[in-house]
Amino acid sequence: MTSLTFALIAGVVTFALSLALPVVVKPILVRLGIMDVPNDRSSHIKPVLRGLGLAVLIAMAIGYLVALVAPGGMIEYDSAALALSLVAGAAICSGLLGLGEDLKGVSVTVRSVLLLAIALGVGLGLVWYGGAAWWLVIYAVLFVSGYINVANFMDGLNGISGFHGVIAGLAFAATGVLADIVWLVPAGLILAAGFGGFLPWNLTKPGAFLGDVGSYLLGGATAATSLFALVSGAPILATIGPMIIYFGDVAVTLVKRVRAGHKWDEPHKEHVYQRLNQLGLSHVQASGITALFSLAGALLGLASFFVAPIWWLLLLAGGLALVVIYVAMPRLLEKSRAR
């Protein structure tokens, strides 16, 4: 069997486990009393079970293992096995940090130190794997720790994180096929399958949330996969395309809050996706809009495979235009209703 076949097998295993494991995980979370109680940041009005991202974490960990050690899998490709192992390590460590937040809470200082440690590990891994320049370590520390926080900030509506994981994962898998990066295909499929299997639990009543374990896992896996894809030779636009809307939403919201004199880290409901929900769109509708813009960003990134690098500036401009339009969506929706 080919490496692509084993990538598909790893994806199927991950999806099946992510879909099935909540049957086991939910009763444990109930006994532990891990509930998401509505606060100033919440877009729901009733306490909801959280921490179901633990099921996704276990499913993805097993999926990575299958992709690595199965005969004919990544174990037969030394550098590919190293890359996938380092991505898996970053994803799992990120999820475990989030699990600590869900179970007992972690102080801001400890959480910050551990986030930076995970991000530094990714940066050093890039040097080990691809001989990356040392300045990239600094970039990786900022990029990985930043995106874990971004994914956590954006995990506020049913469906939004699940959709994002599926879109980012499939975009990375497509990048792996187009760039012939053998480890990136299973990495992307495992990411997409893990969060795809969670969606039915999130979107059907009574519902359940990923919790910090899931949002940290999403941020860590996506950021690490993006960086290792870049060092492996993927076009930069393809590696960041699925992430631009999340980055744009958080960046614009935080800048607006700081300019208004608010503390950036205080609980709030001012993100674009939250404002869309406040204007009357359902969770799925608001999450779907964010997902569609992320999908468009991912497709623009993948388009860089089919045009000369001189046209990448046009694709980059298109990505920035997507962010501008997305940020303006609440205002556009208000105007359309006022007519």
Write out pLDDT tens, residues 247-272: 999 999 999 988 877 776 777 788 99
* pLDDT value at 322 more than 60: yes
Distance CA 336, CA 339 (A): 6
Output the pLDDT for position 43. 53
Write out pLDDT tens, residues 190-207: 999 999 999 999 998 877
Average pLDDT, the chain: 90
Output the pLDDT for position 186. 95
Q: Is residue 40 classed exposed, middle or buried when 0-12, 13-18 and 19+ CB atoms within 10 A define those classes?
A: exposed
Q: For residue 99, which phi and psi values (nearest 5 degrees)?
A: -65, -40
Tokens 């979107």 belong to residue: 203
| Total residues found in the chain within this entry | 339
Confidence of residue 232 (pLDDT cuts 50, 70, 90): very high
What number is the average pLDDT over the span 307-320? 95
Distance CA 80, CA 74 (A): 6
* pLDDT value at 220 more than 80: yes
Confidence of residue 281 (pLDDT cuts 50, 70, 90): very high
Q: Do residues 63 and 11 lie in contact, with contact meaning Cβ atoms separated by under 8 Å?
A: yes
Output the pLDDT for position 260. 79
* pLDDT value at 4 more than 90: no
Output the pLDDT for position 38. 56
pTM score: 0.93
What number is the average pLDDT over the span 128-150? 91
What number is the average pLDDT over the span 307-318? 95
Residues 6+ apart with CB under 8 A from 48: 35, 36, 206, 207, 208, 209
Output the pLDDT for position 263. 75
Write out pLDDT tens, residues 16-40: 999 999 999 988 888 877 766 555 5
Output the pLDDT for position 205. 81
**Of residues 168, 165, 172, the one with CA closest to residue 202:** 165
**Structure tokens given for 236:** 């930069």
Letter string b/e over residues 277-292, b meaning 16 or more CB atoms within 10 A of that residue's CB: beeebebbebbbbbbe
Q: Where are the alpha helices (DSSP H) in 204-282?
A: 211-231, 236-240, 244-259, 272-278
Output the pLDDT for position 12. 96
Confidence of residue 318 (pLDDT cuts 50, 70, 90): very high
- Stronger pLDDT, 301 or 73, i.e. the higher one: 301
* pLDDT value at 329 more than 90: yes
What number is the average pLDDT over the span 102-125? 93
What number is the average pLDDT over the span 58-76? 82
